[in-house]
Chain A
Amino acid sequence: MSPVDPSPLGGPADSLATSSALRAMADRLEDAGVERAMRDGWSWSQVAEALGVTRQAVHKKHLMRLLAARIDLRRRDV
């Protein structure tokens, strides 16, 4: 196939930009949702179950940020 000179707008460029924008939006929603859930007293397991990932994955990804947010994480299941 000869090399193509794709436009930054329209066609596959729109699909790919949409995918990237949705991923960024999903990340921001997850950060906000996890923080809100933990402020409301959810356990790590509940947050993990709602996200469909393991408890360890949530813990690893969000612990430092939640500590920075000064959320009291004591007396929750691990």
Chain B
Amino acid sequence: MFRFLAVERLAPLFVPRETAMVVVRQFAIEAKQDAAKFIEAEHMLLTLAANEESDACTLLNESGLTYRQIVCALRDERRRSLGFAGVEPLDEKQTEATELERSLTLGTSAKVALKRAMVASRDGRPHRPRIQGTDLLIGILQAELGTVPRTLAIAGVDRAVLIARARKPMRETRC
């Protein structure tokens, strides 16, 4: 599922429809800014945090996670991971290379987050087939290992509390 799927093809999975395409394109923008080969769960998390009109963004902000703070926490996580091998992060100039203009596809962590988001979107609402921002947030936060949980642990955020808060119905449906 979702294998080799261009990111734009994901838009019909999301609600509201008016903002869905912007959201899925933002996944790719975040991945490109990170010089990543694939869209990963951390790029989806950044997208949710960047969408200030969304409930997911509100939940993240209330937990002390703004877009900027997530960027810093991701940087700290990378520094810690490389530091374990005694390696310093490289200067951007050292890794400057031409990127092919292509539509990015989902990496494994993003696929898993999306599958979990689809399950969350059906939770107690069997007839609601589309993913809201809070469903995607739940899908991302349910990963127990990997970059996102490491980043959140470094930032001192309790994932379980955040998941519980995301499961509560919000005032209105926003992506």
Q: How many residues of A contact B (CB 8 A)?
A: 28
Q: Which residue in A5, A17, A34, A68 is a CB contact (below 8 Å) of B147? A: A17
CB distance from B42 to the nearest CB of A (A): 12
CB distance from A27 to the nearest CB of B (A): 7
B97 A35 Cβ-Cβ under 8 A: yes
A13 B150 Cβ-Cβ under 8 A: yes
Q: Does B153 contact A (CB under 8 A)?
A: yes
Interface flags, A21-65, vs B, CB<8A=1, else 0 = 110110111011011000000000000000000000000000011
Tell me whether A8 and B146 are in contact in the complex, defined as CB-CB below 8 angstroms, given that A28-B95, A69-B98 are known contacts.
yes
Given the complex of chains A and B, what is the CA–CA distance between A24 and B109 in angstroms?
Answer: 15
B90 A9 Cβ-Cβ under 8 A: no
A25 B90 Cβ-Cβ under 8 A: yes
Given the complex of chains A and B, what is the CA–CA distance between A8 and B41 in angstroms?
Answer: 15
- How many A-B residue pairs lie within 8 Å, measured between CB atoms? 74
B96: chain A residues at CB < 8 Å are: 32
B82 A29 Cβ-Cβ under 8 A: no
B36: chain A residues at CB < 8 Å are: 24
CB distance from B32 to the nearest CB of A (A): 13
Interface of A is mostly: helix
Q: Does B18 contact A (CB under 8 A)?
A: no
Interface of B is mostly: loop
Q: Which residue in B35, B82, B154 is a CB contact (below 8 Å) of A22? A: B82
A14 B84 Cβ-Cβ under 8 A: yes
A13: chain B residues at CB < 8 Å are: 145, 150
Residue of B nearest to A28 (CB): B95
Q: Does B172 contact A (CB under 8 A)?
A: no
Find the residue from B36, B95, B101, B149 having the highest chain A CB count within 10 A: B95
A6: chain B residues at CB < 8 Å are: 144-145
Residue of B nearest to A10 (CB): B153
Tell me whether A64 and B150 are in contact in the complex, defined as CB-CB below 8 angstroms, given that A18-B84, A28-B90 are known contacts.
no
Given the complex of chains A and B, what is the CA–CA distance between A29 and B80 in angstroms?
Answer: 19
A69: chain B residues at CB < 8 Å are: 97-98
List 21 contacting pairs A-B, 8 Å CB cutoff, sorted by A.
A7-B153, A8-B150, A13-B150, A16-B145, A17-B77, A18-B82, A21-B81, A21-B82, A25-B87, A25-B89, A25-B90, A28-B95, A31-B95, A32-B95, A35-B97, A65-B97, A65-B99, A66-B98, A68-B99, A68-B101, A69-B97
